[in-house]
Chain A
Amino acid sequence: MEKLLLLGDEAIAQAAIDAGMSGIYAYPGTPSTEIMEYVQASAEAKNRNIRSIWSANEKTAMETALGMSYAGKRAMVCMKHVGLNVAADAFINAAITGANGGLLVVAADDPSMHSSQNEQDSRFYGKFAMIPVLEPGDQQEAYDMVHYGFQLSEDMQIPVMMRITTRLAHSRTGVARKEQKPQNELRLPSNLRQFILLPSIARKQYRELLTKQERFEAASGNSGFNKLTDHTDKKLGIIACGLAYNYLMENFPDRNVPHPVLKIGQYPVDPALIDSLYTSCDELLILEDGYPILEELIRGMLNNGKRVRGRLDGSLPRDGELNPVIVGAALGLDHARGNDVPALVKNRPPRLCDGCGHNDAFLALNEALLEYGRGRVFSDIGCYTLSALEPLESINSCVDMGASITMAIGAADAGLVPAVAAIGDSTFTHSGITGLLDAINNNAPITVLILDNSTTGMTGGQTSSAFGKVEDICRGLGLSEEHILVIKPLKKHHEENIEIIRKELAYNGVSVIIPRRECIQTLGRKLRQKAKMKELEITQ
């Protein structure tokens, strides 16, 4: 079959369509977003009636996928690494319930934090949940592993995780497809109590999970994704996980590494495979594009065995993404560097688009807050977080989705009154609603700005679950009408906006101000589409 030129994310999406997936659920987050976007744009997916839904957050997405698995069909849930923190309750417990229809959880990590708050390694979650984890080394393997993962999930009756990183997700290459499979029929679990985690049942299910571990290890030994290539120079043995294998190979133009190499693509790893490398080599080098998970396991807390090199002994940097040069240096290989970056080259950080409504909202907020002084604006995650940078420098926190409102409550309780929360519309429905309920129930003296640009801007303009609902949600939570105020963040309304914010800052209770103006980017896209439609009408 002809190869398709696909991003890693797109390869995963195409594979899921081909492997008979019936539904995909996700909340956007770099670098995982393009998986859902590909399915939503796919005519094949539409023809096959595949459900493809942006959920309110990662937890609801995970649970919806689990529900589809309960009903016997194949489901996928996708998120960025920190999304798994949000979905963790459902995720960990899904390992106890087990799966019925194939359930694949895709977690996209971001080593080097290109677009994230941290670089947590989702393989830890996989180990925590004690489920199989797949870590593709390239886009083709990602495609193949989706097919394998769904099958493994059904064979072992367990959710399977696929862990990818930014580089794989956002790199494009030719990918060959497999034959398409039909979707599963609706089929209830053979044991109708499998998903009831009452203690008496959960204990039994958990023991079953424990006994499955050996089968998981055996599976990783048989799948072909963990492969030992022997070689003569046994002074060193190399373990390369996922993408790190490519960085290793890049250092050997003939692809011939003089040492034994164990390529890892599936966990839990069969200990026998590690043992054969460990006993036959003088020392080991462990390459992981993430946390030193295998390295820590093999080296052990006491580190009193053979020398194990990697991120923990300084052979590789402790943090950040790997690359061919870093891996080459760990092998003692030299490389030529180009010229230095000339001193005149200036940083060019990301910034709010020209004409973005967030800019006007924060200009007004900055001015309204002048009389109280700086340091009292708790923000959240989205385009508006860029207001932390010059020239606005409006906000003082960005921690996790939803934390703006709740941190403001805590700070106000400590005496920082008024405290301000700034949260985007999509972040509000992701994790802000419960925090606002806390604030209202406790009559916290906080002013909440729900910056409503009618989209999920930061990740490229996906539909926002909050669309058209923000005021109703606030009312429903019990907020009184006079403290729900919509403003238009435009230069011409600057003075009146300052006045409104000032008045609510002085109010000793919860108020919500909603600066509402559509994102320039999504608006532009819509207008261009409209123009194109018109053109088509004229030419037809």
Chain B
Amino acid sequence: MKKDIILAGVGGQGILSIAACIGTAALDEGLYLKQAEVHGMSQRGGAVQSHLRIASTAVASDLIPEGSADLIISVEPMESLRYLPMLSRTGWIITSINPFVNIPDYPDMELILKEIWKQHHYVTLDADAVAKECGSMKAANMVILGAAAPLLGMKPSAIENAVEKIFASKGKDVVELNLKAFHAGRSHTMKQM
């Protein structure tokens, strides 16, 4: 088993909480894992990405080779396109369609969606709306994680346990909110597949 995942977003959007959940689940499943994060300068509202590599045998490079990512998981639609050269021909894009507009020349949303829908395999969803329905927009990240879950090659329960672990320190309500968001995202993708 091997899953190479690009996590994409804008500095401050918290893609690392998605990475932490997948990473924790992978470790609990006894898988090997390497996760290259971006710290520093670009965290100030710039484009950020993280390379997350999971495999049943030891992982060599911290960086995913271009053209071989299995998944791009993005919390921002334009950012999901920035890493297309990394994606394999059989890879999937899972992205929210909620734009994060902090540049003056942000492109037309319809054009962005058209580009995404041109790709072979994708799941697009209004993560903010789904999260809001679950109780708080803050859980949009977990909606995206849920939407990616069926493609991660791990048992859903393993990821659920990881979500519980990661948010445990923030109290029962937060855990429940995030689990709810996770399930909502997951069923969105299941319906499409």
Contacts and interface: CB of A to CB of B under 8 A. Distances in A.
B61 A348 contact: no
A339 B32 CA distance: 28
Contacts of B119: 339
Contacts of B45: 348, 350-351, 353
A348 B46 contact: yes
A171 B51 CA distance: 9
Interface string B3-30: 0000000110000000000011001000
Sort chain A's interface into a size bin.
Answer: 35 or more
A30 interface: yes
Contacts, number: 158
B1 to A, nearest CB: 13
A255 interface: yes
A336 B68 contact: yes
A435 B84 CA distance: 48
Given A115-B40, A171-B51, A350-B46, 17 more contacts: A31-B39, A34-B39, A114-B42, A170-B37, A171-B37, A172-B37, A246-B60, A324-B63, A338-B86, A338-B89, A338-B91, A344-B108, A344-B111, A348-B46, A348-B102, A349-B46, A460-B39
Nearest to A33: B39
Interface of A: 3, 5, 7, 30-31, 33-34, 114-115, 167-168, 170-174, 243, 246-247, 249-250, 255, 323-325, 328, 335-342, 344-353, 383, 386, 458-460
A455 to B, nearest CB: 14
B33 A30 contact: no
B115 interface: yes
SS of A interface (majority): loop
B40 A114 contact: yes
6 contacts: A33-B39, A114-B40, A172-B23, A255-B60, A338-B88, A344-B112
Contacts of B69: 338
Interface in B25-57: 27, 32-47, 51
B84 A339 contact: yes
B81 interface: yes
Given A30-B40, A114-B41, A351-B44, A342 B68 contact: no
Contacts of B36: 167, 170-172
Interface string B115-138: 100010000000000000000000
By Cβ-Cβ distance, the 6 closest A-B pairs, closest first, are A30-B40, A115-B40, A350-B46, A115-B41, A250-B61, A350-B44
